[in-house]
Amino acid sequence: MSTTVTAARRLVETLVANGVTHVFCVPGESYLAVLDALVDFQDRIQVITCRHEAGASNMAVAYAKLTRRPGVCFVTRGPGATHASIGIHTASQDSAPVIMFVGQVARADRGREGFQELDYPAVFGTMTKLAVEVSDPTRMVEIVTRAFATAAQGRHGPVVVSLPEDMLTEDAGPRVPSAVQAAPAGLAEAALHAIHARLEKSERPLMILGGTGWSDDALQRLADWAKQIDLPIALSWRRKDLLNNDHPCYVGDLSIRPSPGLNERIKQADLLIAIGSRMGDIPTTGYQLLSAQDAAEKLIHVHPSAEDINRVWQASLSAIANEAVAAISLSGLKVQRKWSQWRAAARGDYEKSIEPVTTVGAVNLSQVFTHMARVLPPDAILCNGAGNYAAWPNRFYRYRKPCTQLAPTSGAMGFGFPAGIAAKLVHPDRDVIAIAGDGCFLMTGQELATAVQHDVRLVTMVIDNGSYGTIRMYQEREYPKRVMATRLRNPDFTAYARSFGAWAATVERTEDFPAAFEAARKCDVPSLIHIRTSVEDILPGQRLPNAP
């Protein structure tokens, strides 16, 4: 006598087979059968109940970036899916392998504009690698397995799987789930030989690292190889953890505000080897960093996705390969040349740039993040969202190990706090610091309830200048003295945090930060430090005109 196994149970079995340890969700009646199936797997999968779908999807992105495995979230149909869309867009631009499962109306009701109905492949098709609906329960294992393979193969990215609620309770058949094994592509021998020859001829080479398809082993081998030959390395936008910032070959990052002098070094270079970076808008300063002729003469572009090769410029040499596999191959090259003076000069520029600057306000954020770099262990994880406040840790904090920076290349406000919750769940024994501006924090601040409920003891820093500071800065540049919609009247952030059951303190002077930070790190509950800053200190070394 056969036993019926529902599609919902087969889905959860497939998650377990593929190593999923956490799922992030806001519950919904459209996938009740999945929630019921998860009850039987509580020893394998921890279900994190969030207070907003954007929090759930952002946590899945953070999980994916930390573990280098697909992060999973579940949301309900219609409003739940659209609330979560910001995390899917972030996963797309961040190249993060995320799978979002969305409840759907019953199959018989499709096309009638049923309650909360959406066509998910149509809605999410432009921001995912795959958006698909499971209409046949016997195909559940097949489609979910395909979702894992698609998210983690080539350039990593998000997948959306729609789940009609009536399908979830039907018999899925006998198919048993199995794990997906990625098959990353390597560098062709011809490309490897060509890169070797170009390095031997180069007088001023520079390497740029980006992307997410890395392994710790590959990064270590590349770092050791670069040190042997004195090859300077720059890191792409929000990829500052790909190389120890104390490494002698690290020369800065290509962010919205690149390390001082770095863009000029890149223009002076006679050979650029970009591995994993899309060479997109931010790292190339709005596509102005190189001319078409420069790229055709000196750019070598290695990337896991054919769609991103020659998308911005026609490179002198292009290769489709996984970042880690390519780096391991390159690290085996016996290069006779060294570029000690060229590397040392670039490194000197970087070291000058991380010296603390003066500020107008009583809290000097350059000193705050310099202190944090000094007292935190190398495996501490820093998370941030978007806003000018993020320029301070980006410049003055030194990342020393892989997978210790969680920051959205999409520029999504509200990312850092839920990312910090996910990071602390994955690594409960490590320091996790979530950094947010006042505007950024209140976009997902309700997830304090999630942190308290699940006993997630992260430290959160809310940097409060009473303004949507980035927009105010551009407002003053384009329309001086005509302030509109950028001033904020904020709550008492310490009282707000305490109302959830968190520990909280306010810092109004630089010298008060170390003690507050130490106390927060020792807390046995989630903690929040409210840091009052001057809006005039809009960026490191830059004043906001016409403040406040």
The two structure tokens encoding residue 294: 């420069």
Is 220 inside a domain boundary?
yes
> Is residue 224 domain-shared with residue 362, that is, in the same domain?
no
Torsion angle (degrees, nearest 10) of CA 201, 205, 211, 214: 70
> Is residue 228 domain-shared with residue 323, that is, in the same domain?
yes
The predicted structure's pLDDT at residue 86: 98
> Is residue 22 domain-shared with residue 147, that is, in the same domain?
yes
> Is residue 369 domain-shared with residue 340, that is, in the same domain?
no
The two structure tokens encoding residue 250: 């690290």
Domain closes at, from 167, 200, 221 = 167
Q: Which residues pair with 436 in a beta bridge?
A: 462
Q: Would you give the DSSP letter of residue 539?
A: B
The two structure tokens encoding residue 273: 């080897």
115: pLDDT strictly greater than 90: no
Average of per-residue pLDDT across 52-68: 99
Q: Would you give the DSSP letter of residue 388?
A: G
Range of the domain at 460: 355-543
| pTM given for the model | 0.97
> Is residue 333 domain-shared with residue 205, that is, in the same domain?
yes
Is 177 inside a domain boundary?
no
> Is residue 458 domain-shared with residue 373, that is, in the same domain?
yes
Domain closes at, from 353, 374, 403 = 353
Asked whether the beta carbons of 254 and 234 are under 8 A apart, the reply is yes
70: pLDDT strictly greater than 70: yes
pLDDT, tens digit (0-9, with 9 covering 90-100), for 351-386: 999 999 999 999 999 999 999 999 999 999 999 999
> Is residue 344 domain-shared with residue 425, that is, in the same domain?
no
Torsion angle (degrees, nearest 10) of CA 159, 160, 165, 168: 0
Which of 132, 124, 163, 135 has its CA nearest to residue 148? 132
> Is residue 43 domain-shared with residue 156, that is, in the same domain?
yes
Is 430 inside a domain boundary?
yes
548: pLDDT strictly greater than 80: no
Average of per-residue pLDDT across 44-68: 99
Which of 50, 47, 57, 34 has its CA nearest to residue 127? 57
3-class DSSP state for residue 532?
strand
> Is residue 362 domain-shared with residue 510, that is, in the same domain?
yes
The predicted structure's pLDDT at residue 2: 55
> Is residue 373 domain-shared with residue 313, that is, in the same domain?
no
Average of per-residue pLDDT across 466-479: 96
140: pLDDT strictly greater than 50: yes
Pairing state of beta strands 22-25 and 405-406?
unpaired
Higher pLDDT, 502 or 110: 502
The predicted structure's pLDDT at residue 1: 40
Is 178 inside a domain boundary?
no
Cα dihedral across residues 23, 28, 33, 37: positive or negative: positive
CATH at 500: 3.40.50.970
Is 515 inside a domain boundary?
yes
524: pLDDT strictly greater than 50: yes
* Angle separating helix axes 513-521 and 365-375, nearest 10 degrees: 40
Interior angle at CA 208, CA 206 and CA 213, nearest 5? 145
Is 524 inside a domain boundary?
yes
Cβ burial, residue 36 (10 Å; 0-12/13-18/19+): middle
> Is residue 224 domain-shared with residue 238, that is, in the same domain?
yes
Proportion of the chain above pLDDT 70, given as a percent: 100
Is 242 inside a domain boundary?
yes
Domain count, the chain: 3
pLDDT, tens digit (0-9, with 9 covering 90-100), for 302-324: 999 999 999 999 999 999 999 99
Is 176 inside a domain boundary?
no
pLDDT, tens digit (0-9, with 9 covering 90-100), for 153-187: 999 999 999 999 999 999 999 888 989 888 888 99
Domain closes at, from 137, 167, 197 = 167
CA 408 to mean position of chain CA atoms: 4
3-class DSSP state for residue 33?
helix
pLDDT, tens digit (0-9, with 9 covering 90-100), for 373-428: 999 999 999 999 999 999 999 999 999 999 999 999 999 999 999 999 999 999 99
31: pLDDT strictly greater than 60: yes
> Is residue 384 domain-shared with residue 461, that is, in the same domain?
yes
Asked whether the beta carbons of 75 and 104 are under 8 A apart, the reply is no
